[in-house]
Amino acid sequence: RKEVEQDPGPFNVPEGATVAFNCTYSNSASQSFFWYRQDCRKEPKLLMSVYSSGNEDGRFTAQLNRASQYISLLIRDSKLSDSATYLCVRLTGGGNKLTFGTGTQLKVEL
Protein backbone atom coordinates (compact mmCIF):
# COMPACT_ATOMS: atom_id res chain seq x y z
CA ARG A 1 0.00 0.00 0.00
CA LYS A 2 1.29 3.46 -0.89
CA GLU A 3 2.07 5.83 1.97
CA VAL A 4 -0.19 8.50 0.49
CA GLU A 5 -3.04 7.67 -1.88
CA GLN A 6 -5.16 9.97 -3.99
CA ASP A 7 -7.84 9.60 -6.65
CA PRO A 8 -6.08 10.78 -9.83
CA GLY A 9 -9.30 12.21 -11.32
CA PRO A 10 -9.76 14.21 -13.43
CA PHE A 11 -12.50 16.06 -11.63
CA ASN A 12 -14.32 18.19 -14.21
CA VAL A 13 -16.47 20.84 -12.54
CA PRO A 14 -18.25 23.99 -13.71
CA GLU A 15 -17.06 27.38 -12.61
CA GLY A 16 -18.57 28.29 -9.25
CA ALA A 17 -18.95 24.71 -8.08
CA THR A 18 -17.68 23.29 -4.81
CA VAL A 19 -15.30 20.36 -5.12
CA ALA A 20 -13.63 18.16 -2.53
CA PHE A 21 -10.67 15.80 -2.73
CA ASN A 22 -9.65 13.17 -0.23
CA CYS A 23 -6.28 11.69 0.46
CA THR A 24 -5.59 8.65 2.65
CA TYR A 25 -2.36 7.83 4.43
CA SER A 26 -1.04 4.59 5.85
CA ASN A 27 1.17 5.67 8.74
CA SER A 28 -0.95 6.44 11.79
CA ALA A 29 1.98 8.20 13.42
CA SER A 30 2.09 10.84 10.68
CA GLN A 31 1.79 14.32 12.11
CA SER A 32 2.04 16.90 9.37
CA PHE A 33 0.33 17.16 6.04
CA PHE A 34 0.22 19.66 3.24
CA TRP A 35 -1.58 20.33 0.02
CA TYR A 36 0.61 21.43 -2.86
CA ARG A 37 -0.63 22.63 -6.21
CA GLN A 38 1.13 21.85 -9.48
CA ASP A 39 0.25 23.45 -12.79
CA CYS A 40 1.04 21.61 -16.01
CA ARG A 41 4.80 21.34 -16.54
CA LYS A 42 5.48 23.60 -13.57
CA GLU A 43 6.91 23.05 -10.11
CA PRO A 44 4.80 22.12 -7.07
CA LYS A 45 3.84 25.08 -4.91
CA LEU A 46 2.62 24.98 -1.34
CA LEU A 47 -1.11 25.65 -1.16
CA MET A 48 -1.92 24.95 2.47
CA SER A 49 -0.51 23.34 5.56
CA VAL A 50 -2.81 20.96 7.45
CA TYR A 51 -2.08 20.64 11.14
CA SER A 52 -4.15 18.88 13.82
CA SER A 53 -7.75 19.96 13.14
CA GLY A 54 -7.13 21.54 9.75
CA ASN A 55 -7.38 25.11 8.52
CA GLU A 56 -9.10 27.51 6.13
CA ASP A 57 -7.69 30.03 3.69
CA GLY A 58 -10.24 31.96 1.67
CA ARG A 59 -12.07 29.56 -0.63
CA PHE A 60 -9.89 26.64 0.46
CA THR A 61 -10.46 24.45 3.52
CA ALA A 62 -8.29 21.53 4.56
CA GLN A 63 -9.36 19.00 7.16
CA LEU A 64 -7.51 16.19 8.91
CA ASN A 65 -9.35 13.10 10.17
CA ARG A 66 -6.87 11.12 12.23
CA ALA A 67 -9.34 8.37 13.17
CA SER A 68 -9.90 7.48 9.53
CA GLN A 69 -6.43 8.53 8.39
CA TYR A 70 -7.42 10.90 5.66
CA ILE A 71 -7.16 14.56 4.82
CA SER A 72 -9.40 16.52 2.56
CA LEU A 73 -9.29 19.69 0.50
CA LEU A 74 -12.47 21.63 -0.19
CA ILE A 75 -12.55 24.34 -2.83
CA ARG A 76 -15.59 26.63 -2.86
CA ASP A 77 -16.68 28.84 -5.75
CA SER A 78 -14.22 27.21 -8.18
CA LYS A 79 -12.41 29.49 -10.61
CA LEU A 80 -10.95 28.63 -13.99
CA SER A 81 -7.56 29.41 -12.49
CA ASP A 82 -8.01 26.62 -9.93
CA SER A 83 -7.45 24.08 -12.71
CA ALA A 84 -4.31 22.19 -11.70
CA THR A 85 -3.10 19.00 -10.04
CA TYR A 86 -3.46 18.96 -6.27
CA LEU A 87 -0.80 16.98 -4.44
CA CYS A 88 -1.35 15.48 -1.01
CA VAL A 89 1.92 15.51 0.90
CA ARG A 90 3.06 14.00 4.18
CA LEU A 91 6.07 15.21 6.13
CA THR A 92 8.30 12.34 7.23
CA GLY A 93 11.93 11.61 7.94
CA GLY A 94 12.10 13.53 11.18
CA GLY A 95 10.35 16.46 9.63
CA ASN A 96 12.54 16.86 6.59
CA LYS A 97 11.26 14.62 3.84
CA LEU A 98 8.09 15.09 1.81
CA THR A 99 6.16 12.04 0.64
CA PHE A 100 3.85 12.87 -2.25
CA GLY A 101 0.68 11.34 -3.53
CA THR A 102 0.28 10.99 -7.27
CA GLY A 103 -2.01 14.02 -7.34
CA THR A 104 -5.63 14.73 -8.22
CA GLN A 105 -6.30 16.62 -11.42
CA LEU A 106 -8.95 19.34 -11.34
CA LYS A 107 -10.42 20.95 -14.43
CA VAL A 108 -12.75 23.88 -13.92
CA GLU A 109 -14.86 24.63 -16.99
CA LEU A 110 -17.08 27.49 -18.15
Partner 1 sequence: EAGVTQFPSHSVIEKGQTVTLRCDPISGHDNLYWYRRVMGKEIKFLLHFVKESKQDESGMPNNRFLAERTGGTYSTLKVQPAELEDSGVYFCASSQTGTGGEAFFGQGTRLTVV
Q: Which residues bind partner 1 (CB under 8 A)?
A: 2, 4, 32, 34, 42-46, 49, 87, 89, 91, 93, 95-103
Pick 24 or 78: Cβ nearer partner 1: 24
User: Least separation, in Å, of the C-beta of 97 and partner 1?
Assistant: 5
Task: Kindly tell me the burial class for residue 78, based on how many C-beta atoms sit within 10 Å of its own C-beta (0-12, 13-18, 19 or more).
Answer: buried
Pick 78 or 103: Cβ nearer partner 1: 103
Q: How far apart are CA 83 and CA 88, in angstroms?
A: 16
